[in-house]
Amino acid sequence: MYYLPSRPKAAKEDVSNMKRLLIALLLSYCGVFAIGTHGNAQSLKVGMTSKTLFYLPFYAAQKRGLYAAEGLKVELILIGRSDVQLQALLSGEIHFATLNSDGVIVVNEKGANLKVIAGVDNAAPYVLVGGKAYKTINDLKGARLGVSSLRGGATSILLEYMKSKGLNYPKDYVMSVISGGTTARLTALETGAIAGAVLGVPYSDIAIDQGFNRLGDTMEVISTYQFNGITVNPSWAEKNRAVVVKFLKAHIRSLRWIHEQPEQATELFMSEMAVKQPYARRGIDYFTKNKIFPIDGSVTLDGLKVNIDVQFRDGVLKEPLPGPEKYADQSYVRQAQKELGL
């Protein structure tokens, strides 16, 4: 799917629709990193992998008018695969990507220059869930597991967890890519298309209550991890620093609201993502009590070090390993925190 970048509103009332369309197409063709205007609000496009609890802070900021309060009009765009989202960011079709830091490490090692500037999910609360016929991890030998991509993010976590239990890819199991995040993997599990998958909280609870089998908690192996973060192309971000900081101020206010108003956050989770009680409240409580959602929006550099170690074991990085600062720039979120008086 291709997304046209935002375009300025025509200054003259007699400009035809055709002319505006041609202008938009030219901007798209040139790959311009432009911020359009919508009235007095600045338009931004944000890529997301799935509409799940992992991305609730963005929906909260949108629904509660936190972006509007900063003079921003934010469009949340669902892009089911992280590699596609990265390409959309590199080409300027979106202004912010919200994906796992593993993908940033991979593309940067291939010559790109992206930076994680704020945290969204500073851990990866995944549970390995097996089909009804798969009652132990050893039962998954020779089976098909559902993943969102063949490397990085939840897949790296799955590989590490399976390795810790004595099962190695590709010798002991196969993987099938299923776009759309946790909810898509849950659907594939329900239809029998896969034998198992890692599912995020609280979707893992839903699956287990349906009779599927809990095979293990991946946080036993990787408890600290920079999972989803807000990622930018620095060449665009530095030219638009004020806008980036405004976006992060809304993001931080949204995170703080979820932590401080769990009941209201639960209601939003239920209405936006069709998750019913008691699962919705369980998810909110888990993400706040375990600080999955960073209340101040910071990146966890200790977690990013784990990402680096995982990518080293996957063969993406070689020694000497770089520090986390190679892939992160917290100056934007620090400025946003300062302007909010934190």
Gap between the Cα atoms of 320 and 318, Å rounded: 6
| CATH 3.30.930.10 is right for the domain spanning 126-220 | no
- Residue 311 predicted with pLDDT over 80: yes
Mean pLDDT of the 253-267 span: 98
Do the domains spanning 17-121+227-339 and 126-220 agree at the CATH topology level? yes
- The closest alpha carbon to 232, from 89, 20, 22, belongs to 89
What pLDDT digit, counting tens, does each position of 199-220 carry?
Answer: 999 999 999 999 999 999 998 8
pLDDT averaged over every residue in the chain? 89
- Residue 102 predicted with pLDDT over 50: yes
Mean pLDDT of the 100-107 span: 93
pTM score, two decimals? Answer: 0.83
Pairing of strands 196-200, 144-147: parallel
- Residue 115 predicted with pLDDT over 80: yes
157 or 272, higher pLDDT: 272
- Residue 94 predicted with pLDDT over 80: yes
What pLDDT digit, counting tens, does each position of 170-200 carry?
Answer: 999 999 999 888 899 999 999 999 999 999 9
User: Which pLDDT score is estimated for 198?
Assistant: 96
- Residue 32 predicted with pLDDT over 60: no
* First-last CA distance in the chain: 39
Mean pLDDT of the 89-118 span: 96
Residue pair 99/47 in contact by the 8 Å Cβ criterion? yes
User: Which pLDDT score is estimated for 39?
Assistant: 55
Residue pair 292/202 in contact by the 8 Å Cβ criterion? no
User: Which pLDDT score is estimated for 181?
Assistant: 84
Cβ–Cβ contacts within 10 Å for residue 143, how many? 17
SS (HEC) of the chain: CCCCCCCCCCCCCCCCHHHHHHHHHHHHHHCCCCCCEECCEEEEEEEECCCCHHHHHHHHHHHCCHHHHCCEEEEEEECCCHHHHHHHHHCCCCCEEEEEHHHHHHHHHCCCCCEEEEECCCCCCEEEEECCCCCCHHHHCCCEEEECCCCCCHHHHHHHHHHHCCCCCCCCCEEEECCCHHHHHHHHHHHCCCCEEEEECCHHHHHHHCCCEEEEEHHHCCCCCCCEEEEECHHHHHHHHHHHHHHHHHHHHHHHHHHHCHHHHHHHHHHHHCCCCCHHHHHHHHHHHCCCCCCCCCCCHHHHHHHHHHHHHCCCCCCCCCCHHHCECCHHHHHHHHHCCC
Gap between the Cα atoms of 13 and 47, Å rounded: 32
User: Which pLDDT score is estimated for 37?
Assistant: 43
What pLDDT digit, counting tens, does each position of 133-146 carry?
Answer: 999 999 999 999 99
Going from N- to C-terminal start, the domains of the chain cover: 17-121+227-339, 126-220
The least confident of 64-73, 175-184, 260-269 is 175-184
Q: Which two tokens stand for residue 152?
A: 């990085």
Cβ–Cβ contacts within 10 Å for residue 148, how many? 27
Residue with tokens 């359009």: 36
What pLDDT digit, counting tens, does each position of 152-162 carry?
Answer: 778 888 998 99
Question: Domain spanning 17-121+227-339: which superfamily?
Answer: Periplasmic binding protein-like II (3.40.190.10)
